[in-house]
Structure formats: C-alpha cells, structure tokens
Structure 1
Amino acid sequence: MVSGYFPVGRTFGKLLLALIMFLPAAGARGEHYRQIVVVGSDNPSAVELNILDVLKQRILEKAEVGISSITSSGYPAQEGSAPGTLFLFAGIASGNTALNVVLESMWLTAVSAGDPGPEGFLFRAVPAGPGKRSVVILNGVDQRGLLYAVGAFLRECGYLPQAIEIGAVNRRTAPAFEIRGTQYGQSSVALTKAKARPWSREEKHRAILDLALAGANIFLTESTPKNELEELAFLKSFDLMACSVFHVNQAPAGNFPGEWRASESIGRPNYLCPSVPGAHRFILEECEKKVKNSPAYDFIQLKGGDGGGCECDRCKPYGNVFIHLSEKIAEILHRYHPKTRIYFTNQKFDNESDSAILHYLNEKPREWLWAWGYGPGSDATTWQPGHRQNHRMDLFRYPGFGPYGLYPKTLLHELPSRHKILYFNELTHWKYAQHGYAQMYPRADKDGNLPPRWSHEIYERRPDQTLTMVYNRLSFFAWPKYYHRVFNDLMRYGAGDITHSSGNHDHFNQWMWQRLLWNPRLETGEVVNEYAVAWFGREAAPLMSEALLQLESNLEELPDEPLQIKRGIEVYYRKVAEAGRKIPPHLLKNNWLWRMYMQKGALDRYIKLDLQQQLAVRQQVEQLAGAYPKNVSWTLLAGKIDKVLAQETPEMTRLRGEAEKLGEESNTLFGTRSEALFDLRHDYIGLGWLKRQIGRIQEAENEISRKQLVSMITDYEGRKINAIYDNLGTGNHAQHVTTGYPYDHGQPYVPTMLSEANRPSQRSMHFTQDEEQGVTLSYRDLPEGKRYQLRLTLVRPVFQERYLERMKQRSQSVYANGILLAQNLELPEGMSDFFTFDLPENCIRDGKLEIKLMPDPALRDRDRVSTEQWRNTGGWGTLLSEAWLIPEQE
C-alpha cells in the first residue's frame, strides 16, 4: 500500500492512480434481490425505528424493490429457499432473538463493547445456498453501532433499477476515535454569491445523516434559538451527540459601556474585556441567563479566539484571564447541565498564554475541563493564517514527521493525564486557511520569527494564481492526498475531531475525515475509492477516483506547468464526463454531487481558455509594439485588449452554458452550485496595465519617453538593457532582498484590495511591519564608475472599511546607501505605478549598494495594543513589489 507519509506531489498522485486501478470496488458483485424483509427487534426503541426507516428510505431512493418489516418473533423459523428475497436482521447486541439464532447457526458471537468496541457493529452478508435463505446481519453494539452498520450496508450495495445487488461480506469493526464530528449547513457564499436556494429542514437533516452514516457521532449545532431545539431533537432521534459554542467574552446584542470593550486581536467591536470588573460580572450574568434556559449539550466549546480575546495590558497574558473566567463559566454550565463535557480552544493565543493555562491545569485537578481544543490559529509550530501571536521555536530542533505534529505531541506531554486534546480542524477553505494553500509566504510573528527551512514545503503549496481569482475561499474542492497527510500527522495525539466546516462545498473532505476517524489505517486510494463507489456507483468509481486525485493537482500552482498548459484540466473534465455516462440513468437523475464535480470541470476549462486567449493577445501586442516605430496603431492594440476581456470563444460559450445548466440542476436537486458562475470574467495577466501603458505612449511628450514606455512592453524585466530585476512576490526570484518578507495581507485576500489591472508581479510584494528598518535590497560587485537608475513598483492595498481606522500609513522614504532619494513618498492605492530615481554619481561604494525603505512617520509612537491589532489586520510599514537597477545606456 502507498504510505500516507510519502511527500505529496505529482509522482505520489500517479502512484495513487495506479493503486486505485487495483483496488476492488466496495461490494463485490453478488446476488440480485427484488424483495427485502427487515427483521427487527420485538421491542425496538424509537432510535432503532428511525434508523431502520432511513435504511428503507435510502434503498428506495435508488432502487424500486419491495421492502417489508417483521419482528423477531414473527420470523419464520423453518428454513426454505426464497429466490430474489433478502432477509435482513437488524438489531442491537442481544436485543433481537431471531438475529441471535442466526448468529448461533453461523457459529458467530454477538458484538459487544469489548468486541469489536463501543459504537461498533457486525455486518455479515451470506448469499443463499441450496435450500437456504439469503441473509444479511446488521448487529450493532449499541444504537449508534446499528446506525453505522446501516451506513456500511448502504455503501456495500449495488443499486439496479428494480433490485439491489450484494455479495458476501464479513465485517466486524468499531471506530478508532471517540469523538467524530463536524459542522453542517450551507455557507453564506453559497446563499449569496452562488445564489443557491436555502435548504429545507429535510435537506439539512439529510446532510447530517450522510455524515453520520459515514461514522460521525457529534455535530456542532446551529446556535440560533429558532433552530436549536429542533436540531437537538433530530440529533437525539438518532442517538447522536450535539456540541455548541460559547464565545467566552463576546457581548450579546445591545449596548454596553465603551470602557468595557475588549482590544480584540483584529479589532472586532462586540467583545468585552474580562479584566474590567463590570464587564466580567456582565459576562457571567449573561451566561447564567443563557444557560438556565438552554437545552443540555453533550459538549460545549469555550472559544478563546478567532474572534475573541483581549490584547490589553490588563489581560496580559490573556490565557490566564481566559482560563479563570472559563472555570466560572463552567461552574454555571455544570450547575444546570452537570453531564456536559467542556473543552476550550486557544486560537490566536501566544506562548505566554499557553504557559499560563498549563500552569493553571497542573496546579491541582481541574475536573470541570475535559479537553484542550486545537483549532485554526492554535498551532505553535506553523505560521497559519489567523495569526498565532508567536511560536514555540524551542520545538524546532529536529523535524520528526514535520511541523504539524510537533505542538500537539508536546502539548499532550505537558497536559495533566486527565485532559485530552480535541481537534477543531478546518477543512473547509482551500486558501488562506489552517491547512490550506499559502497565497503568500507567512509574515514574521510578533517575536520576529519565521518558519525554519525544513518546514517550507507547507508554505510553498500555492493555489493556482489564475483559479484563485475566480473561486472564493468557500468553493467546491477536494483534497484527498494532502488532507490524508494532515490527518496522519495530527490525529494520533487526540481523542477525536469536531471539524470546522462552513458549508457543503468541502463534501469529500468532511466525508473522508469521518471515514479516517473510524479507520485511520485506510490509505488515500482506499478512501477515495470508497467515496467514489458510495456516491457514484461501481461502474463510475474508477474514473471518479482518478478525477478526484487529478482535481487536487489542478488546484495547485505548478511552476513547470502553469494553467495555460496544464493538461490535468482536460483530463479531469473528460474523466468526470465519462463517469457520468457510466452512472445508470436512474441514479444519475438525482445525483447533485456528480453535477458539482462536472460543473467544476467545465468552469476550470473555461478559465483556462480565457487565460489562453488573454495571453495570445498580450503576445500580439508585444510583437506589434516590438516593430515600433513602424506603423504601430496603438488605438487598434488597445481595442484588441478591450475585445478579449469582453469576448468568449465558441468553446467558452459552450462550457459556460454547460456549467450553468449543471448549476441549475444541482441547485434544484440540493441547493448547491458554484459561485464562479456569477464571477467568471477577470483580467488574469494585467491587460489593464498594458492598455494603460499604451495610453501613456500615446500621450508621451517626446520620442525618448515614448521609446522607454514601449520598451517596458517589449522587455518588461529589462534584460536587453542589462537591468538587475527583482520580483518581490511569493515564490519569485528576489535574490537581492535582505530585509522583508512577502506581504500576506493579514486577512483573506479580497479582490478589492488591489486592481486586477495590475500585472501579476505588481499584485504581490514584500513588506515590513513595525520593524525600524524597512524592505532592503543589497547589491554587490557593481562596476566602479557606472551610473545607475533605480526603478521601483509601488502600490498599497485598499483596506476594508472596518480596518480603515487603524491604517494611517500612506508613504515611505527611499534611501540609497544612506542618501535620501525620496522622503515620505506616497504609494498609489490599488493600482501600481513606477517611481524612477537617478542615483547620485558617488552613491555606489566599493561595488556595493543598499536600497533601504523607511516607514511613514505616522507609525511612530503607537502603543502595543494598537500595534498588535494593526499587525493582525494587514498593517504595513514599507511595501515594495518590484525593483530594477538599470545601468546607464551607452
């Protein structure tokens, strides 16, 4: 088998594809059954009845078969042949006498909490022999065990129009992790940007059961009073657990004194400072009001941050204030709901806060706390978006299995043995996320630390820069290879996971996580194959498995295979389309999920074709500009740019129509479709800059200026004039940078921050934060007596309104070997521009030149708290996108 610890890459992907081809499809071909007789307990519980109802409903959705039910005492003891009839015995442990008789006849023991374990089950399928009945046994250790047995049976079946098909099965299994859960619902992106219709109550319940049948046992519920009781009742009707979130220092709706307001890490206004006595009392009073009227939950998550918390000096370290306040909240919770298990999350905390909490927990037994929760921004050994304040650099002596496992492994040793680690892993965003692609290389933390070199692999995974312009963070995607690696790095140290999911777009990721929580030994190919069989059927499964693995590669920026030549885009599209032809019509007609994967394929192909036509026009413009000054019609060239940004090729039109049709169907079937349908056209390569440059050529006052402007089209990096060029984005060649690091925006990158009309190299940049020295470039071995010109590309982001108040910086100063070239030079907002300086004749000394940027004086004399908030929301001291050192032309 292919190990989950192999590096994730294209070679690994090819190995997985090969593996899948040799994996047996779940549920080998077997007998066909037109009639199913469900033999239940004589006195089934309401939960058992609900589970068996789901069994019947899910079968009848896919096959027109006869299903009848009898009780254990009504089962005919006399054996006989019943062609085309399947007797399905379903019960809990020894609660079904007929089931026990059948078990005994097969020399099988009933399942128990010791064999195979809590929540486990026995699933045995025995085709009819001569004069025998065909039998399926679904024997659950407990009520949930029966639910999971039903899930296994439904996955194993083949569904014909008027029959089910199943071969011999002998499976006795139980989950590996105690806590296996997630969130559920539709995302705001689906409802607003994708214009999906809201789910009905039944559809919401279906989404819950899809994951429960895969092995989930707990769900983070909606916390609004309108839905709270209804959702809890539904979960309990299947013996599933419920978890709710309590934001420890969040203020309820309404006004409160301004002096109570917390200095929250990104400046959100609706949080209270727990160190203010009045606010402290108010938090506890509001907790009492809420809890005494709320239903009981199995788990409560006390959220520490993201958002929440307080950065003020009175709360320093916040972890100490937080954990003591949490103890008081837990006392109130347990007064009304003594069986509720409590865990907290340390999201966005710092090392000092962790230490304070560990000291508190090790002082004496803290029986109110069940687990330490690990969520986005918790990890002290990775630089994740969400920005943990600092990091455990002491853990970076040896890499071991890599950065993900270092912190939880250490934390487990530092915690008292009574406490567990419970994960709140985020699987829902493909970029700017806990384990997502790094759009920009991470910034230094508040101690000035950056990741060690051996952990760079996780920061060098970048999203395809073209696709990221179209697809939202909450976009339909699947990551089998990388998430399998993350699971194996992290989960060995925890009691389980209640994952963070913001919608239904991460369908595969959530499903895979539940299957791995049940059996972490499953290899990537096995999980992918099982998913494909379960959702698309046996015939289509091999193609869909290959497509899923291909999709993961398609999403990633590959330096040697940019999107315009990425063959995987067409490969994925063809495989999903062919898979659709292999799904039987009676199953395809209601398969919203296949339509989502097909929609993704059509949209990706559309984007690739759009990029190709934009690149072709840019090449035409560059070639024609290269003929200057011979009869170049700049007006004609500008018109070509306008046309290509507005036009579709016939194939693009066809693909858009296909995607729109699929989107309407998936929305009708299950309230889901791609948001990209409503945001398809973009300037991927900065044609807007090219058009602006043409305008400047037309307006140039003299021939010298005109030629220089033309040369920036035909020779942008200045190779023909021996310029020394540095592109200061992420993953680019910027060998002369000695101070600074790529700008990560401090928040999810939104399209309004920088104009698409910028070239890609103008949309990213290096920066410094509150450091005294700004971005610096150092040059060596420059020839003596040579004169140079310095050209810089500068731009500053447009901040969202809620961050504007703290973003006072507008300018920076430029120095060359200590000589001031520009003082308080204001950076253009949104759209970049060039700034050119003639270096003084005696500026270069001993062949060395240092270009140093210095920050805006407006950043001086800031207090620690406002500085932290400023840093956490994208504050910059200096910014630089590109630099040219241009020698004097002879």
Structure 2
Amino acid sequence: MLFIAMCTVLSCTDKNPDHLDLSNATLWISPSLESSFKETAKTVLVQEVQKRTGLGLEQGDTWKADPVIALALVGDDKLYGETVPTRTQDHPEYSKEGYRLVHGSKGGKDILWVLGSDARSILYGVGKLLRMSDMEQHKFSIPKHVDFSESPQFAIRGHQFGYRNTANSWDAWTVAQFDQHFREQVLFGANSFENIPFQDPASSVHFKVDPQIMEVEMSKICDKYQADYWVWTPAPDDLTEGDSYEEGLAQQEDFYARCPRLDGVFVPGGDPGDNHPSVLIPYLKDLSKLLKKYHPKAGIWVSLQGFNREQVDYFFKYLEDNDPDWLTGLVYGPSSPPLKWEREKLPKKYRHRFYPDITHTVRCQYPVENWDQAFALTLGREPCNPQPHYYAKIFREDVQYTDGFITYSDGSHDDVNKVLWSQLGWNPDKDVREIVVEYGRFFFGPKVAEASADGILDLEKNWAGPLLENKTVPKTLALWQRLEAENPQLADNWRWQQLIMRAYYDAYTQNRLAYETGLETEAYKILAKAKEIGADVAMARALDTVQKADTQKVSQDLREEVFKYADKLYHSIGAQTSVPKYNARSAERGAILDFIDYPLNNRWWLEDEFKKVGNLKTEAEKLERIDFIRTYDSPGEGSFYDNISSADALHVTSKTDDAIDYLWENDGLSRKRLSTQLFQFTPTLAYEGLDPNADYLIRVSGYGEALLRANGERLKPTKYEKGYEEFKEFPLPKELIKDGKLKITFDKPDEENLNWRKQSRVTDVWILKQ
C-alpha cells in the first residue's frame, strides 16, 4: 500500500520558502549500517552535492556539529547522542523501502534526518533530498520544517540496460558511466536493473569493455547500491536440437558463478525462441537448481510471449497440476496473453512482472498515437522520446495488474520516461509535471527546472496530431533556443543535448513538410494541364517542381544544429545517430540523421510512376494514368479518401492497437507512395452525409486480405488484388446507407501462422460516388 505524508508546514514549491542552509552541514551516518554501504551513502550525497555546488560536505560524529544531515535507520535509538525521530509503525518509513525526510531542531541546532526502513531506503531519502534542494555554486539549502515520507506502491521498479550492440548508446559506455547512471536511477526510486549477457565481444565496434566483464561489473554496481540485478537470458532457439539444452545450462551456470549478485533470471518464452512449454519448463526447472546453487534468494521468471492458445493452456495446466516452487513469477511482455487475464489466471503464489516498452515509437508495444507520418519516416523508431503524459496513462492503465515493472529500453533516448516510471512506481497518482520539474531540478539545476519541464512537456505536444497544423513546434524551439543561450554551463550535459536536438529536428521537419507538400500541390496543378501541354511535358515540369525539395532546400540552419548536437551526443555518451557516420547497428536503431532528409512528398513515387507512364504506347493511355496519379487522394465531389493511420485522416476512428503503424523496407528508404507506408491491420472508419440514392464503390489498398464489412454486412468484391498499391473494390448496396451513414470494419483473417510483417493490412480507403 502507498503511504505519503507531504511537507507539513511549507510546500517545497513555494516561491519564497524559509530555507535551511546546509552549505556547511556535517554528515552523521548510522553505525548500524554495513560499513561498505555507509561509504556508498556518504559518497553519493557528497559527490552529488559537490557537482552542483562545489561544496565538500564532511562526515563527523560529534553532537556539536550544526547543521547536521543525519542518515539513519528507523530502528536506531540514538545517533551521536541525539534521539532519532520515531512515529507509530503505520507510517511510511516503517514499510519496506520506505523513508522519511524530516527537519528537527533542538537547542538551536538544526538536524535534517534522512530515515530509512533499510539501507536501500536511505538512498531513496537521499534522492528526495537532492531532488527538492536548491543547489547552486556554494549554495545548498532545503525548505525548513520539511516532513516528507513515502513508501513505494510497487515492489519491482526497474529498467533494462542491455550492454549489447542493439542499444544505440550503451555499448559505448564505460563501467564508470553505468555506475553513475544506475546511481541516478536509484535516486529517482528504481530498485532493479536488467542486463542482457552472453554478447559477442566482436558484435560492436563501440565496446570499451568486454561484455563478459561488463556483465559482472553491472552486478557489482547493483550490489553497491543495494539494487536488484536481473538478466534477460533467452533459452536456445530449439532446445531439442543437438546439445543445445546442455550447452544452454552450462553457459548459464558459468555466468551465475561469476556474478557477485543476482536476483532475477528472466527467460522469455518467445521473442526470441520457439520452444514448446513441454520442453521449456524442464529447462527452467534445471536452471533454477543451478541458480539456487550460487544465489539462493534469486528467482526464475518466464514470459508467455509468442505462445499460441494450446501452449498457454499447457503452461497454466502445468502450474495447476504441479504447483512448482522453483518458479518465482511470470513476466508480461509484447505478444503475451492479455495482461489482466494473465494475472487472473496466474496462481497467487507467483509474482507478476510487467515488461513495458517505453523506448520505441513505432513497430512496438505502445506506438505513438496519431503520430504524423513525417515524424514516423524521419525520427523513426528510437528518437529522443519524452512522453510523460502518454506513458503515465499507460502506467495507470496496466501496471495495476502486476507487482511492478522492469521496462524495456534500448538506449538513453528514453531517459525522461524511465524517471517517470520509477516515480510512478512509488506513487501512481503523482503529478506528471511535478516529476518532470524534479527531473529538471536534479539534472539541470533549480533555476532551469520549471522552464525545462515546460520544454520537455512541449516536446510531447510537438507529436500531437497533424504536424502542419501544430502551432506548438515553433514555440517549443523558441523556448529551447532561449534556454540554450542562457545556460552555456549545460552545453556538455547529454540530457540537455538530446532534448535541444529534438526541438531543432521537429522544427526542421515541420518546415520541410510544409515546403515539400506545397511543391507536390503545385506539381498536381501542372499535371491537370497535361491535355493542353502534353503528357511528357507535364510530367517533366511536375517532376522539376517536386524535386526542388532536393535542389532548393529549406531551413538548413536548423538542420545544421541537429547535426551539431548529434556529434556532441556521440562524444558525450556514444549516441549512434547514423549508420555511416557513427556506426549505429542498423537504420532502425536511432539513426535519425540518416532520415532527416527523407522525402516528405511523393517525389520518389512520382519518379517511378512517370517512368511507367512514359512506357505507355499512346497519349490517351498516358493522360488517363496521369489523371489517376493526380487525383489519387482527391477523388472529387461526393467521394471520400483516407490515408489509414495518417494523423489527419478524417474518417478513421481506430488507432494503432498493435506493433505496427508504418511499413519498413529497404532499410527505411522505401520508394512507395507515402500513404502505402502507413497502415492498420483492421481499421474502422465512419462516414455521414452519403447520398442514399447514389451508387458507391468502396476501394481498398493495402496488402493481403481485406475482409470488409459495411454497416456490419460482409461485402463481396468485384476486384481483389492483394499486392501493394493494388486494389480491391466492393460495390456498396444502397439499402445499407438509407440514413446516409456508413461504418466500415475489417474482419481479421486467420494468419496466426504468419510473421506480423507478412500479415494483411490496409493502407488506403476510398468511398467513390459513381
């Protein structure tokens, strides 16, 4: 249960609080803490204060010190002669991981107590102290009379940090960088970190440390901060093949023996892997024996990702019949059975962990809702993606069914999202803006906290709805440009760098979209005159017009800033924003520079189409095809067209409800029409104002099947092509639209045996008045 006691006298956000000056404070640290952890707690507080103020806090053990910052356990009686504040056991600081931050005064001496239920809790109290303090050069203070306490609602609060080449920055990190980063995550409330071991040392050119060494160093770092160390370790793809079963066990045992600390081993059922539970379960049971040999308190966890119905039923029947003690819990990840159902089906003795994707924007568990295609095609799957309100909504909807979470992450670009989830793990009702302000206060300083929070929240607004209509984008850039100019001391701060880069990137993309869309509109006006000037002349002039996007470029000053910050990020944290320039693993892995100039009009498609038209034999055939190209998305009076999943689609009522919302081919450099690259599997559309006396034809483009229903009635096609940029056509019976209203739905075909990349999808829908 969550307990929170807020500041009792003065709010930490009052404009003119009466502050307690801690600039000359002496540290008291409870002797009852383990010696190594006493050193950790002292080092964290002293170093983090010194970085921000230049002050060097000293540790003491005399009652004469004033003021004092006292780090103690709630079970302590006295500390250097002073009575440790106590309350009844129902207060938060007595719960697991709970802490209390309270200012006491006695005999004119000020003591700021940081009280924890255990060693780990002390660091959470220190984190809150640092997040609410005012720290500037030679200044360190906190509101007087503060009395704040809390304990977390969720027991598992962590993030995945896979030291592997797919991560778009971490494979370039040192042990010291991971140590600092894990420390910062703990100070915001995280208690778990999950690595992905068994990486090939030759798999990344960025590795500064052998992965087999780093996977042990991460274990040591977690132990240092009293955080849980987890690992994500898939079973061999086919446990029945050769010696893979025994080899898998041997590899795991070697790892267990090398780790000084290990708390959880998560084996995904699928993604990757394709083992039936009848084979996977014995393997997990054997793993548990090896794990207990080296780490008696550690647990085995498994997910049902990719399991079909029979496999899911088999797994739960096994639990029902065998009630195994070797299994600790179940992990819910992408392609698992429904979350709420899974928790209800799982016996209460087992724990349930969430594995949410907070790092990706498309082709993922939680794609950005109503994301403009211009961003999807340029920023791609792993840009800097602070979305505090969106992920808070997801958290509040889904985490309630679990014992907590370790998020899926593949880089530093989702840093704001990590902090948000860690904090919501303590208090799901905490104000989103308050969390973001604390983020800014801790990483950027008190003078910038409010403004940087505005900037972060505005970056999220940049992604809301059609980009051409978004008036927030230029305001966001102006805010970050002002902060950039006013705070040169933050120029080397990687969090600062990636946020400012996003502001420039968004503005450049918006300007380019407006320009290139205008060029395409002009090109279609030229094509409308094809009968007068001839098909070949019209195509040549139209092509010259749209290609001005390449020959007469706009907003190059904004583009240069993006590249400048990308280079800063590469040198500060190894962020790989380009495949050729910074050796990103692949185009999908954060390579935003490689797509910054991807066409935002259909000039590539037009180039290819005009070549086809040029090969037609007669002028009449050419003119007919040109007219189709020109009116592709504007079918005329009384007709309707929708680019499925486009942010400005007028009649689409569904949102992307799965891992896909645009086509990925040719490493992201598809030459298909832009509308072809946006799709849904089973969209819904709604129309009003149809003429009940008119004949209509429903045309659908996409890939594979399209099992279309109109107002619930399954329609029969008169044309049924299944390839990209081919068409299916369905005559619409008049009796179905007597009231002028139409709802289109699509039944999902039975394609469970197909990889999602080959499953049917819909890209464009027309209602054509005949």
Q: What is the TM-score of this pair, normalised by structure 1?
A: 0.69
Aligned to 2:187: 213
After TM superposition, give the deviation of residue 334 of structure 1 in Å: 2.4
Aligned to 1:361: 319
What SS does the aligned partner of 1:118 have?
Answer: coil
Q: Which amino acid aligns with 2:519?
A: V
Q: In the alignment, does 2:472 pair up with 1:568?
A: yes
Aligned to 1:506: 414
Q: In the alignment, does 2:259 pair up with 1:343?
A: no
What SS does the aligned partner of 1:505 have?
Answer: helix
After TM superposition, give the deviation of residue 645 of structure 1 in Å: 2.8
Alignment of 1:871-890 (within 5 A): 871-876=754-759
- Alpha-carbon distance change, 207 to 765 in structure 1, aligned in 2, over 3 angstroms: closer
Aligned to 1:761: 675
Query: After the TM superposition, which of the residue ranges 349-358 and 476-485 deviates more from structure 2?
Result: 349-358
Q: Which amino acid aligns with 1:872?
A: N
Alignment of 1:440-519 (within 5 A): 461-519=369-427
Aligned to 1:854: none
What SS does the aligned partner of 1:534 have?
Answer: helix
Alignment of 1:374-385 (within 5 A): 374-380=332-338
- C-alpha distance in structure 1 between counterparts of 2:76 and 2:102, whole Å: 17
What SS does the aligned partner of 1:522 have?
Answer: coil
- C-alpha distance in structure 1 between counterparts of 2:98 and 2:732, whole Å: 75
Aligned to 2:151: 174
- C-alpha distance in structure 2 between counterparts of 1:503 and 1:483, whole Å: 17
8 Å CA contact retained: 2:175, 2:214 = no
- Alpha-carbon distance change, 483 to 122 in structure 1, aligned in 2, over 3 angstroms: same
- C-alpha distance in structure 1 between counterparts of 2:662 and 2:417, whole Å: 21
What SS does the aligned partner of 1:421 have?
Answer: strand
Structure 1 residue ranges without an equivalent (≥5): 1-21, 251-270, 311-317, 381-406, 438-460, 769-779, 797-808, 810-816, 849-858
Among 126, 132, 136, the residue aligned to 1:150: 126
8 Å CA contact retained: 1:319, 1:357 = yes
8 Å CA contact retained: 1:144, 1:238 = yes
Aligned to 1:253: none
Aligned to 1:261: none
Q: Which amino acid aligns with 1:351?
A: R
- Alpha-carbon distance change, 355 to 291 in structure 1, aligned in 2, over 3 angstroms: same
Aligned to 1:51: 41
Q: In the alignment, does 2:24 pair up with 1:35?
A: yes
What SS does the aligned partner of 1:539 have?
Answer: coil
8 Å CA contact retained: 1:592, 1:669 = yes
Q: Which amino acid aligns with 1:414?
A: K
8 Å CA contact retained: 1:569, 1:605 = yes
After TM superposition, give the deviation of residue 24 of structure 1 in Å: 2.6
Among 428, 438, 463, the residue aligned to 1:530: 438
What SS does the aligned partner of 1:611 have?
Answer: helix
After TM superposition, give the deviation of residue 412 of structure 1 in Å: 3.8
Q: Which amino acid aligns with 1:544?
A: S
Aligned to 1:125: 103
8 Å CA contact retained: 1:343, 1:369 = yes
CA offsets per residue over residues 449-474 of structure 1, 9 Å max, x none? xxxxxxxxxxxx33221101012322
Structure 2 residue ranges without an equivalent (≥5): 1-10, 199-211, 578-590, 683-689, 706-714, 737-748
After TM superposition, give the deviation of residue 488 of structure 1 in Å: 1.8
What SS does the aligned partner of 1:547 have?
Answer: helix
What SS does the aligned partner of 2:220 have?
Answer: helix
Aligned to 2:361: 430
8 Å CA contact retained: 2:701, 2:762 = no
- Alpha-carbon distance change, 112 to 608 in structure 1, aligned in 2, over 3 angstroms: same
- C-alpha distance in structure 2 between counterparts of 1:143 and 1:625, whole Å: 73
After TM superposition, give the deviation of residue 372 of structure 1 in Å: 1.8
CA offsets per residue over residues 692-722 of structure 1, 9 Å max, x none? 4555666664443343244335433464487
CA offsets per residue over residues 287-340 of structure 1, 9 Å max, x none? 556656665511221321111133xxxxxxx34443344223323332443321
- C-alpha distance in structure 2 between counterparts of 1:283 and 1:519, whole Å: 40
Aligned to 2:350: 419
- C-alpha distance in structure 2 between counterparts of 1:294 and 1:712, whole Å: 65
What SS does the aligned partner of 1:473 have?
Answer: coil
CA offsets per residue over residues 494-519 of structure 1, 9 Å max, x none? 22222222121111111111111122
Alignment of 1:533-682 (within 5 A): 533-556=441-464, 558=465, 562-580=466-484, 586=489, 588-630=490-532, 633-634=537-538, 635-649=540-554, 652-672=555-575, 675-682=591-598
Q: Which amino acid aligns with 1:429?
A: H
Q: Which amino acid aligns with 1:664?
A: D
- Alpha-carbon distance change, 26 to 90 in structure 1, aligned in 2, over 3 angstroms: farther
- C-alpha distance in structure 1 between counterparts of 2:185 and 2:283, whole Å: 35
- C-alpha distance in structure 2 between counterparts of 1:76 and 1:724, whole Å: 80
- Alpha-carbon distance change, 167 to 289 in structure 1, aligned in 2, over 3 angstroms: closer
Aligned to 2:601: 685
- Give me the CA root mean square deviation: 4.4
- C-alpha distance in structure 2 between counterparts of 1:63 and 1:727, whole Å: 54
- Alpha-carbon distance change, 726 to 513 in structure 1, aligned in 2, over 3 angstroms: closer
8 Å CA contact retained: 1:111, 1:121 = no
Aligned to 1:139: 115
Identical amino acids, percent of aligned pairs = 20
Bigger-Rg structure (1/2): 1
- Alpha-carbon distance change, 200 to 618 in structure 1, aligned in 2, over 3 angstroms: same
After TM superposition, give the deviation of residue 29 of structure 1 in Å: 6.2
- Alpha-carbon distance change, 96 to 677 in structure 1, aligned in 2, over 3 angstroms: farther
After TM superposition, give the deviation of residue 684 of structure 1 in Å: 1.6
Q: Which amino acid aligns with 2:115?
A: N
After TM superposition, give the deviation of residue 492 of structure 1 in Å: 2.6
After TM superposition, give the deviation of residue 549 of structure 1 in Å: 2.6
After TM superposition, give the deviation of residue 677 of structure 1 in Å: 2.9
- Alpha-carbon distance change, 135 to 289 in structure 1, aligned in 2, over 3 angstroms: closer
What SS does the aligned partner of 1:370 have?
Answer: strand
Aligned to 1:92: 73
Q: Which amino acid aligns with 2:470?
A: K
- C-alpha distance in structure 2 between counterparts of 1:789 and 1:139, whole Å: 71
What SS does the aligned partner of 2:473 have?
Answer: helix
Q: Which amino acid aligns with 1:299?
A: G
8 Å CA contact retained: 1:697, 1:706 = yes
- C-alpha distance in structure 2 between counterparts of 1:744 and 1:422, whole Å: 20
CA offsets per residue over residues 432-458 of structure 1, 9 Å max, x none? 222333xxxxxxxxxxxxxxxxxxxxx
Aligned to 1:298: 263
8 Å CA contact retained: 1:484, 1:524 = yes
- Alpha-carbon distance change, 629 to 26 in structure 1, aligned in 2, over 3 angstroms: same
Aligned to 1:102: 82
Aligned to 2:620: 704
Aligned to 1:389: none
- Alpha-carbon distance change, 221 to 755 in structure 1, aligned in 2, over 3 angstroms: closer
After TM superposition, give the deviation of residue 58 of structure 1 in Å: 1.0
8 Å CA contact retained: 2:92, 2:149 = no
8 Å CA contact retained: 2:373, 2:647 = no
8 Å CA contact retained: 2:222, 2:229 = yes
After TM superposition, give the deviation of residue 56 of structure 1 in Å: 1.0
Aligned to 2:53: 63
After TM superposition, give the deviation of residue 605 of structure 1 in Å: 0.3
- C-alpha distance in structure 2 between counterparts of 1:374 and 1:743, whole Å: 17
After TM superposition, give the deviation of residue 348 of structure 1 in Å: 1.9
- C-alpha distance in structure 2 between counterparts of 1:631 and 1:23, whole Å: 72
After TM superposition, give the deviation of residue 367 of structure 1 in Å: 1.7
- Alpha-carbon distance change, 677 to 133 in structure 1, aligned in 2, over 3 angstroms: farther
- C-alpha distance in structure 2 between counterparts of 1:197 and 1:283, whole Å: 24
- C-alpha distance in structure 1 between counterparts of 2:623 and 2:128, whole Å: 71
**Number of equivalenced pairs:** 703
Q: What is the TM-score of this pair, normalised by structure 2?
A: 0.79
CA offsets per residue over residues 767-801 of structure 1, 9 Å max, x none? 79xxxxxxxxxxx99999x9x999886779xxxxx
After TM superposition, give the deviation of residue 90 of structure 1 in Å: 2.0
Q: Which amino acid aligns with 1:145?
A: S
8 Å CA contact retained: 2:219, 2:261 = no
- C-alpha distance in structure 1 between counterparts of 2:453 and 2:336, whole Å: 33
8 Å CA contact retained: 1:177, 1:496 = yes
